[in-house]
Amino acid sequence: MYKHIHIPVDNSDYSNFAIDIGVNIAAEMGAEITGSHVYSARLHDKRFKDMEEGLPEPYLEQQRLEKSRKVHDSLIGDGLRLISNAYLDVFDKKCEEKGVTSNRKLLEGKNWFEIVKDIRESHYDLVVLGVRGLGTVNGNSFIGSVCERVIRNVSTHVLVVKDNKVPAGKIVAAVDGSRQSVAALEKAIELGKLFNSEVEAVSVFDPHYHTVAFKSLVGVLSKEAGEKFRFKDQAQLHDEVIDKGLKKVYESYLDEAAEIGIKNGMHVKTRILAGKPYHEICKYLEESQASLLVLSRFGAHQAEESEMGSTSENLLRYGQCNMLLT
């Protein structure tokens, strides 16, 4: 279970959803919770100085300029701190209503960088973060830049909030046989037991990739190369063995998931899907009206230099429910 939860706030809709969900989770788990807001007085100060050259001549007199700078620094610094505290007052009130122990932090600097720095230094075990913030333009972006940069630069569990559903409906866990996905499933089971939610393990195999790859060879291989490669035999092998074999492998992952559920005192439903993994999971999340997808940052094909697996990255962008990245 989580013991110390962190919620960066900015008074956007998704931030307020994050507060509601984070406070509910903290109340159920008996966790401590910290809210933070990042303001950037230094950025405004730099912008003001950059604009000084364009001021009318009377305002460029040194004494008058120094006075303007002091007034600006006072108004901006005090004003931004006042706004930040107002945001955190909302957070404190919701924590108080649920009887949750809360802390508050005012951070100054570049928003995503200060959030990442605080997460690394404070050792939170869960970050609850709105998928977008106040900077969203017409809701066109799938994920905000702050959310994405934070996720890529921390190793802590991150709950990305896309709506105001607590994990009280169906919880879906993506499994692929990797130890990381097993850990994600175990976290889904913990949350399912806590919120009395149904938990379902989903696994996706892709029978189409090899078919497309074989077809692409038709116009590339010479007649001699095709005979050496035994193209027709290879295609038949693919259809009769590889696809069926892949399905069996992924079904075995789901059998393991069901057994893990039994060991943890929960019936875990299972579902196998065929197609491009992120695409099929996105479709299933919508069809099943899942409240939460729990997935690992990396799966069975983790590359050492990457910040996140491609399937997890695509799910984060396109999946239409809250997502817990473990």
Rounded distance between C-alpha atoms, residue 132 and residue 185, angstroms: 26
Helix H or strand E encompassing 295:
strand 292-295
Instruction: Look at residues 122, 126, 121, 88 and name the one whose alpha carbon lies nearest to residue 104.
Output: 88
Position 236 scores a pLDDT of: 64
- Domain with 217, as residue range(s), is 208-243
Query: What 3-state class would DSSP assign to 103?
Result: strand
Shared-domain flag, residues 291 and 308 = yes
Given a cut of 90, whether residue 210 has pLDDT beyond it is: no
Helix, strand or coil, per DSSP, at residue 163: coil
Task: Out of 103, 133, 163, pick the residue that ends a domain.
Answer: 163
For residues 257 and 171, the answer to whether their CB atoms sit within 8 Å is no
- Residue 201, pLDDT > 60, answer yes
| Shared-domain flag, residues 187 and 312 | yes
Q: Which of helix, strand or coil describes residue 38? A: strand
β pairing state of 157-161 and 322-325: antiparallel
* Confidence label for 225 from pLDDT (cuts 50, 70 and 90): low
Work out how many domains the chain is built from and give that number: 3
The larger pLDDT score, comparing residue 50 to residue 22, is at 22
**Does residue 148 sit in the same domain as residue 295?**
no
pLDDT band of 321, cuts 50, 70, 90: very high
Is 308 found in the same domain as 179? Answer: yes
Q: What percent of the chain has pLDDT over 70?
A: 74
Quick check: 131 and 13 in contact, CB under 8 A?
Answer: no
Q: Three-state DSSP class for 281?
A: helix
Beta partners for residue 239, in sequence order = none
For residue 65, the model assigns a pLDDT of 55
Q: Of 216, 243, 270, which residue is a domain's last?
A: 243
Does one domain contain both 146 and 110?
yes
139 and 218 assigned to the same domain: no
Question: Do 153 and 8 have their domain in common?
Answer: yes
- Per-residue pLDDT band for 83 (boundaries 50, 70, 90) equals confident
Q: Which two tokens stand for residue 189?
A: 């089971």
Enter the tokens of residue 145: 């830049």
Task: Read off the pLDDT band of 82 (50, 70, 90).
Answer: confident
Q: 0.85 cut: is pTM over it?
A: no
What DSSP designation does 135 have? T
Lowest-confidence region among 4-18, 56-70, 200-214, 286-300: 56-70
Do 134 and 225 belong to one domain?
A: no
Please tell me whether residues 234 and 268 are part of one structural domain. no
Asked whether the predicted pLDDT for residue 45 surpasses 60, the reply is: no
Same domain, 7 and 135: yes
Cα separations (Å) of 313 from 35, 288, 316? 26, 21, 5
181-220 as b/e: b if 16+ CB within 10 A: bbebbbbbbbbbeebebbbbbbbbbbeeebeeeeeeeeee
CATH number, domain with residue 141: 3.40.50.620
Q: Are residues 74 and 158 in the same domain?
A: yes
Mean pLDDT of the region 87-96: 95
154 in the same domain as 10: yes
Does the pLDDT value for residue 233 go beyond 90?
no
Q: How confident is the model at residue 169 (pLDDT cuts 50, 70, 90)?
A: confident
Provide the angle, in degrees to the nearest 10, between the axes of the packed helices 179-195 and 13-29.
80
Average pLDDT, the chain: 84
* Residue 241: DSSP 8-state: I
Output the pLDDT for position 323.
96
Q: What is the pLDDT of residue 226?
A: 57
Q: Pick from 107, 135, 163: which residue ends a domain?
A: 163
